[in-house]
Structure 1
């Protein structure tokens, strides 16, 4: 048994010929943030819950991923962010949706978990609570980037809702319209962690889907779908939110471990490759034993992990 950490920057149809100028900054961000998480394990003040919040905050602050600063736009050209955090031992959790001004939605989810009798707040109520707690907020325009305006324009022209990484859009069988920077933005960020005592935690954050309907809620903030942690494992999922909700992906990994008595890797592989529709799902997970699983049934998933015994990995495909 030892500590372990895994994080992701989203799964989807990631082109294998992604230009280096687009790929390398994302890989560098994952590596830097992974190292931050690893360093936190040496500080006794940080619990796994603290670490997953820290890591996801950094992912939210990166413009390279679809969460926080990098969030994609709704059909109305607005940002509606979501996040969730969960502690494995107590099953205490917090979740938010419809966030438009909070810099770090994951920290708002943590405040809901710790300072309210509730689990889930959304839209105006969540925004008001964030202000009451003194969380950092900015004008809504902070999240509206030229790149995401262009992504929304192209998604509207193609009359589609964009999922994660997607190859260039085809409009009615016509010629391809290249996406700005060769992708449509990753769909989610997340982190899972376990300490040397087997304490588990999970956190996930997202801007959702390009051109999603206003008010749409995805899998990220739904306990048991995009995020889950108990005494068996901690899971953060990414991909097509509607499919992940239907399959209760995160909870089912824990259920397969509990009821079938199989390992984390076996359970995660089963849910991703045997249960979830192909091209919809990726996840990261850790167990109390310090095991790590990062399966996906999409073309790729930006991911990274490290363990106490020296494993460190950053990968896409």
Structure 2
């Protein structure tokens, strides 16, 4: 039985400049606070954690300042390929999509995969065809392509790199700048985790990927057990260098330490942050069935927010 509801969300982790200018910081903090309040009121109104994480991630996807949905970064071809996943802790039902180009809210399509198909994961043309069948809201590429992301792609191409904003290189042979000249690199992935007063848990994560990524590249966000995981112990959503998070099966490791080793959420997340992937590569948000919250990261910062039924709340970057 739970000890009250709790919610945590993130808008990306990485090498966020300590002196991030106010005009870059403030709109993102406001957006995090707005999404947090949306989640809190949904939980207070008795919405299920699954509904809550979908709702919050949709709102983050609709915000052009985050790298998901409308603010998705561009592939090497100048197109958008979005990934998302969602998971219900009690049933372990989950859904994921990759390479979505026209769907406004990839997280909702992931939920439809979970609820309307016998599958967990649909990608690319198959995911697009399923979206048409389900009549979800779509938009043409111009809706997703922001001027800031066109500029980011241009800079990444000029430097001949795959740009993981706010994070370090994904491969030794690929030169990666940690952030572009004006300190306004895109924030990473978005995600949300929630638990209700009965201890029901859910997690969801959504992303546009990395700047100048190869067509068809898939990161950790849609991979159950890597970027997203929920069971009866905890719910976890990760952000950072997708390749490292996949190699470390980060989200599942947190849950496994609680399930098999009896660790608390704080102990499990601390252990995984130290040992799961290299320093400077990732962060996560997590809640436990008893309403604990953890938001650790091994990067310079992570855009994050959380609240619990006992009145605690926080919006932070560094």
For the aligned pair, the TM-score class normalised by the smaller chain equals over 0.9
Indicate the residue corresponding to 1:228 in structure 2.
Answer: 229
Q: Trace 1:59-78 onto structure 2 (pairs within 5 A).
A: 59-78=60-79
Separation in 2, partners of 1:166, 1:87: 29
3-state secondary structure, aligned to 2:44? coil
Aligned: 1:104 with 2:135: no
In the TM superposition, residue 165 of structure 1 has moved relative to its aligned partner by 2.2
CA shift at 1:305, angstroms? 0.1
Q: For residues 294 and 284 of structure 1, what CA distance do their matches in structure 2 show?
A: 4
Q: Does the C-alpha gap of structure 1 residues 24 and 130 become closer, same or farther in structure 2, counting only changes over 3 Å? A: same
Q: State the partner residue of 2:207.
A: 206
Contact 1:11 1:164 in 2 (8 A): no
Residues 2, 177 of structure 1: alpha-carbon distance in 2 compared, 3 angstrom cutoff: closer
Partner of 2:21: 19
Contact 1:67 1:189 in 2 (8 A): yes
Whether the 8 Å CA contact 1:60–1:205 is kept in 2: the answer is yes
Distance 1:166 1:272, change over 3 A: closer
Shift of 1:275: 2.6
TM-score, normalised to structure 1, is 0.95
- Alpha-carbon distance in 2 for matches of 1:293, 1:101: 34
Alignment partners' CA distance in 2, 1:163 and 1:105: 21
SS in 2 for 1:286: strand
Larger mean CA deviation between 256-265 and 77-86 belongs to 256-265
Aligned to 1:313: 314
Kept after mapping to 1: 8 A contact 2:229/2:237? yes
SS in 1 for 2:9: strand
Matches within 5 A, 1:1-317: 1-44=3-46, 46-165=47-166, 179=180, 182-317=183-318
Shift of 1:274: 2.5
C-alpha distance in 1 between matches for 2:10 and 2:85: 15
Q: Deviations over 1:214-247 (max 9, x none)?
A: 0000000001000000011100000000000000
Aligned 8 A contact 1:166 1:184 in 2: no
Q: Is the 1:73–1:148 Cα contact (8 Å) retained in structure 2?
A: yes
Q: Which runs of 5+ in 2 are unaligned?
A: 169-176
> Contact (CA 8 Å) 1:83, 1:95: kept in 2 or not?
yes
Deviation at 1:166, TM superposition (A): 5.4
Map Cα deviations across residues 68-118 of structure 1 (whole Å, 9 max, x no partner).
000000011110000000000000000000010000000000100000000
Distance 1:178-1:307 versus aligned 2 partners, 3 A rule: closer
- SS of equivalent residue, structure 1 residue 86: strand
Deviation track 1:22-68 (CA, whole Å, cap 9, x = no partner) reads 10000000001100100011212x10000000000000000110000
Would you say how many aligned residue pairs link Structure 1 and Structure 2? 308
- Pairwise CA distance, 1:177: 11
Query: What SS is found at the alignment partner of 2:19?
Result: coil
Shift, 1:145, TM fit: 1.4
The TM-score normalised by the length of structure 2 is 0.94
4+ runs deviating over 6 angstroms: none
Displacement of 1:276: 1.6
- Which 10-residue stretch deviates more, 261-270 or 271-280? 271-280
RMSD after superposition: 1.4
Asked if 2 retains the 8 angstrom alpha-carbon contact of 1:192 and 1:202, the reply is yes
* Stretch moving more, 52-61 or 256-265: 256-265
Report how far residue 179 of structure 1 moved.
Answer: 3.0
Distance, in Å, in 2 between the alignment partners of 1:40 and 1:253 is 26
Alpha-carbon deviations, 1:263-286, whole Å to 9, x = none? 001100110123321011100000
**Structure 1, residues 161-192: CA drift from partner, whole Å, max 9, x if none?**
1113259xxxxxxxx99837523211200000
Does structure 2 retain, via aligned residues, the 8 Å contact 1:226–1:236? yes
